[in-house]
Structure 1
Amino acid sequence: MTDFPKKARVAAAAMREVFPATPLLRNDHLSKCFGADIWLKREDMSPVRSYKIRGAFNAMRKVLANTPDQDVFVCASAGNHAQGVAYICRHFGVRGVIFMPVTTPQQKVMKTQVFGGDNVEIRLIGDYFDDTLASAQAYCGEVGAHFLSPFDDFDVIEGQASVAVELFSQLGRAPDRVILPVGGGGLSAGVVSYLKTEAPDTKFSFVEPAGGGSLREAVLNGAPKTLEQIDSFVDGAAVARIGEKTFAALKGISPDDVILAEENRICTTMLEMLNVEGIVLEPAGALSVDALVDLQDEIKGKTVVCVTSGGNFDFERLPEVKERALRYTGVKKYFILRMPQRPGALKEFLNILGPDDDVARFEYLKKSARNFGSVLIGIETKEADSFTKLLGRLDEAGFGYRDITDDDTLSEFLI
């Protein structure tokens, strides 16, 4: 891939007919917090609010250059890739057939249709993505359409590399470190392939959601390996298996360069960026910023670029994000409380609460004639240390309780 940088620059130049370069903005808040010169490459400000438009454009551009009569393109996606493909189908005036799982939120289906307009047909097929993908690929074989991979394609990787072309030009110098979110690996493969030639001293950090560490698994295994289970909360990056082509471009990195970001902590970063900076990031888009905490000792005094990869956040998810953030920071907990079945017991319990302790949920789980009843109670406070004092007072008063905040099984059914 000795000519890769040249191809990436050609792709970046060609994209200017579709959209301007996304901004590279210094973030004063983060720079002050971490004692570094921190810049955000704002892919959340592309026309489709993610970098996926780049790979879709470049792949489609090259297919049409080689086979001008190719007029049908197909993809399988429930998110940003679908929107990028739809937008570019309309730009080139070709037909796009986009397969999405039946469970795809209506908001994402609607946005994809808006971006593609009359050039796009959306087919909702399959309860699971694997079924959707199989249907899309079978359709391609039937009608002779071209399948657009979300990441594991050389032309897509080349298109995503335009992120690096832009940030290097905009910064005017080589950054000390670039922090990249990783799902299937298309973005990271493209950026690394470009900068390792143009800025050989630049270091890289790769961030995956803890529930979808396919790159880390591949690095440890020496080859891509399918994860048996993933947490889909970070839906833009929770990929069970990194791409073969993308991993080939990343092969040789150290496991120490891969950071697994805990899903609940990502929520605290999303809220911080929203409340402090007014920047709306989806969970995958917040990965690179979230990793700054893990790298704080290494980046002091350095120039760091975080790629904020997407901002397609459905605000109906905001209550869940807030809930996860509160639980991560330790200011909200859930308990099964053993409540005596006698007059005055509830009042006694309420008097035990501190001045900053707020009852966020209170629900009897079982009512009977026994001496004790079970209560699901959620308590929110201002400082995590308040719980140490509260639990001490509960022990002293003889109230039995069980902390179920981190019990995934009980939380799934009760909270």
Structure 2
Amino acid sequence: MRENFQAMATLAAAKMRPVFPATPLLRNELLSERFEADVYLKREDLSPVRSYKLRGAFNAMRKVIPDQSLFVCASAGNHAQGVAFMCKHFGVTGVIFMPVTTPEQKILKTRMFGGESVEIRLVGDYFDASLAAAQKFSAEEGAHFLSPFDDEDVIEGQASVAVEIEQELGRVPDHIILPVGGGGLSAGTYSYFGNECGYTFVEPAGAKSLAAAIAEGAPVDVSPVNTFVDGASVAKIGARTFERLKTINADDVIALEEDRICATIVEMLNVEGIVLEPAGALAIEALGEVAERIKGKTVVCIASGGNFDFERLPEVKERAQRYAELKKYFILRLPQRPGALRDFLDTLGPHDNITRFEYMKKSARNFGSVLIGIETDQAGNFPAMFERIDAAGFTYTDITNDETLAQFVI
């Protein structure tokens, strides 16, 4: 069974070569030194559409062409771009359904890859509405619906990543770290390598669909999900993908906080010059969770995508600083008397900088509420600062990690 899957995945990878080259497998010196291992990055961010998604689209489409010439999908991101690219390559028609709320940048990129071969339809405020419209249209028109992950041909196409890893490395790595969303990439890789290597499957903390499925023994809906890691924020893992993943060890599945992933995005950009989307950074950030396990071993992290909207960079930097405890927000109850503000400013240290100061309202006749953001150069500076604020008699509420309040006031 596995040998047959390996053969089909290897054939799929070979069929792709006239369309696009294998993505590079590069040893990363920074990460190798930090974790005392040979750490390689499989750079799917360097594919023609800056993600691995075109692999599954290519494999699923090549198997039904020329009998089928109309393809439909629902996506607001990488899957749409992969399908669009392949529709143009094969010279077939694609109808791509996207939510009305899809950022214009993603719409333009999808249109750029597909050209005249693709029609984009904006339907619904959320993905579920777009998906329902796409499936209805596909059934009515007799089109081929291209699932982003829950399709055997798509899984087989994504397994070409594993084929290339083995070819480029010359052997099976000791350990592979994979991001998990709907499960197409992880199911394909696990089905190809089997038990020949160790695994770490990484999900965003706000969308732990694989962990939930393993606990229940079947895919379950974990809605609502945190959509920050949009390339991996899936409410329910695919039935076909889970069928291939159901035997994995539950201890090999981990979840990472969204703010923590931001720290890796910033470091990879500033230090390595690598642009990663949040899902693309999952595997790299997970190295810290398995540091002892991978010492002295050959490890491959799959950087699954680099479709990063730079308009999000301020938010990513902000979240990274909050995770590293270099930035905090709090609401200060400021007495309405002369000199109160100066007294507060005296509690700040030489490395504490005010990045936001917003008078919100008077909470009482003699007090007002002020939203304050403080940035420092070392996390250890904050405890001492708060001690000085307490000693000065000020009342405040730390809202740094209050997600509900942060959405409205930060």
SS of the residue corresponding to residue 136 of structure 1 reads helix
Q: Matches of residues 13-412 of structure 1 in structure 2 within 5 Å?
A: 13-64=14-65, 68-196=66-194, 200-367=195-362, 370-412=365-407
Structure 1 residue identity aligned to 2:51: S
Q: Deviations over 1:214-248 (max 9, x none)?
A: 00000111110011310000000000000000001
Structure 2 residue identity aligned to 1:387: F
- CA distance in 2 between counterparts of 1:407 and 1:205 reads 29
Q: Deviations over 1:345-395 (max 9, x none)?
A: 111111211000000110111137722111110101011111111111111
CA shift for structure 1 position 261: 0.9
Structure 2 residue identity aligned to 1:30: L
CA shift for structure 1 position 403: 0.6
Change (3 A) 1:69 1:257: same
SS of the residue corresponding to residue 233 of structure 2 reads coil
- CA distance in 1 between counterparts of 2:201 and 2:362 reads 51
- CA distance in 1 between counterparts of 2:89 and 2:211 reads 37
- CA distance in 2 between counterparts of 1:413 and 1:188 reads 36
Q: Deviations over 1:325-356 (max 9, x none)?
A: 01000011111111111111111111211000
- CA distance in 2 between counterparts of 1:372 and 1:275 reads 43
- CA distance in 2 between counterparts of 1:264 and 1:26 reads 26
- CA distance in 1 between counterparts of 2:192 and 2:286 reads 22
Structure 1 residue identity aligned to 2:239: E
- CA distance in 2 between counterparts of 1:115 and 1:372 reads 57
- CA distance in 2 between counterparts of 1:25 and 1:284 reads 19
- CA distance in 2 between counterparts of 1:222 and 1:243 reads 13
TM-score (norm 1): 0.97
Structure 1 gaps of 5+ residues are none
CA shift for structure 1 position 57: 0.1
CA shift for structure 1 position 87: 0.2
- CA distance in 2 between counterparts of 1:213 and 1:109 reads 28
SS of the residue corresponding to residue 248 of structure 2 reads coil
Structure 2 residue identity aligned to 1:327: R
Aligned length in residues: 409
Structure 2 gaps of 5+ residues are none
SS of the residue corresponding to residue 57 of structure 2 reads helix
SS of the residue corresponding to residue 238 of structure 1 reads coil
CA shift for structure 1 position 201: 2.7
TM-score (norm 2): 0.99
SS of the residue corresponding to residue 10 of structure 1 reads helix
- CA distance in 2 between counterparts of 1:283 and 1:73 reads 28
CA shift for structure 1 position 165: 0.4
Structure 2 residue identity aligned to 1:6: A
- CA distance in 2 between counterparts of 1:368 and 1:343 reads 17
Structure 2 residue identity aligned to 1:215: L
SS of the residue corresponding to residue 72 of structure 2 reads strand
Q: Deviations over 1:172-227 (max 9, x none)?
A: 1221100010000000000111111xxx4311110000000100000111110011
- CA distance in 2 between counterparts of 1:75 and 1:164 reads 25
- CA distance in 2 between counterparts of 1:214 and 1:42 reads 25
- CA distance in 1 between counterparts of 2:331 and 2:274 reads 37
- CA distance in 1 between counterparts of 2:241 and 2:67 reads 29
Identity, % of aligned positions: 68
Structure 2 residue identity aligned to 1:171: L
Structure 1 residue identity aligned to 2:228: F
Q: Deviations over 1:131-161 (max 9, x none)?
A: 1000001101111111000000000000000
- CA distance in 1 between counterparts of 2:364 and 2:329 reads 25
Q: Which runs of 4+ in 1 moved over 3 A?
A: none
Q: Answer whether contact 2:363 2:369 (CA < 8 A) is retained.
A: no
Structure 1 residue identity aligned to 2:249: S
SS of the residue corresponding to residue 194 of structure 1 reads helix
